[in-house]
Structure 1
């Protein structure tokens, strides 16, 4: 549950600190202590800004990443509000947020809105920001404050996949984009923005060629626009209606997605008892 997820993140951060090369003796002990929750600076908690008290580590860990780790270490035991405040402050830009209609005009092509370019750039410069998103996603009320940023990331993923010329997924070339896409989908699912079977979309992405990934992400996009996080969880009737958007994707990629079919479209009670026709593709 929540404690296990947080513990995993803390352990990852501790391991990153400990693995810093070139430190020994007192310096390495200081790094280990920092990872275990020892004394840390309470100053300059803004993500990616200011300077850390661990100045002797600056040459080994880039500034933004170090400050994010400091933030997680110092605020983990407090309310997630502090973490969300810091993330929102870091991502706030003077550029206007594109409207739903503006996105509709350009997707699936790449977004050239200044807001999206800025958000994409900040996450590319500091990949550890996705760790912060992961943490916040355990608190749906807080993740709602990041809706514009996650929507922007999803739009960027759609546009980037759409611009890919390869007809097949290349794990080596598309690895980072695939990871970001899955992280965005998983954060949304964790916060119940995406309910079953949409909350398993990240599993489908990994089995599809780029063009079909675009198709899936657009279906996710349109579902989120129709039922945004602010509107609360989907009702069963709305959820059932939206599931039909997934079936054509399974039909056209049945060889790759056949093992997942039963999870996405489980048989009804009548079908299990033999009183109804099996679901048709």
Structure 2
């Protein structure tokens, strides 16, 4: 158990939209670690991540507490939240085609965040944008700045979306089903990238997914949600080797091969396929 203070703490969070949907859940996210939140559709996991940034529908009612380095986020006015969104807490969504503006070049989308939160403009913003694209391994980063999202493969678009999320060096990264729409080999590259970013940038990452196979690859801790409640939580190896709750066992049994063991940390960095081959394959598929 990490004894340091959490970067983000969710305490007794409740969410109701017409009816109660999330029932008093608690999570601690620590710097440099990936905390997985797993569960089937409708379990409340995505609502939990949206609540952190105040992105729930206007009709939503929340209770409990969400603190960022001790600062309460629940109930903040929009102006105060806007100072946090993208700067201290960033989010990567499931579909990069929806999260990236189709009519703006990649360079504009990367530098907008920098102008607002960091005051960077001109050559300084461009240099940082190129650096970010290099970090997420987008080919020809300087040339990529003038291209539009539709000119990239799905995997590259998700890497660009991650670069946008990293633009202002956030403390916390929320990743909501970031690999669901991608080919399996491309998924592996995105997961390795998230693992590396958490370690190298000391990011606290909340990885939301229905896929426990994804969790087995990179999560340090996993919490399993069902019907708005956390039914089990444990470190990765313990949960996959010795699940305690029947619902967790059902989710594990649904995985291909019906049995899965935690992947050693060293294996996360092993390439599944060369980056060039992976992107070429995806481009051909499109």
Q: Structures share a fold, TM > 0.5?
A: no
Question: Which of the two has higher C-alpha Rg?
Answer: 1
Structure showing the higher strand proportion among its residues: 2
Work out which structure has the larger RCO, using CA pairs closer than 8 Å and 6 or more positions apart in sequence: 2
Structure showing the higher helix proportion among its residues: 1
> What's the TM-score once normalised by structure 1's chain length?
0.28
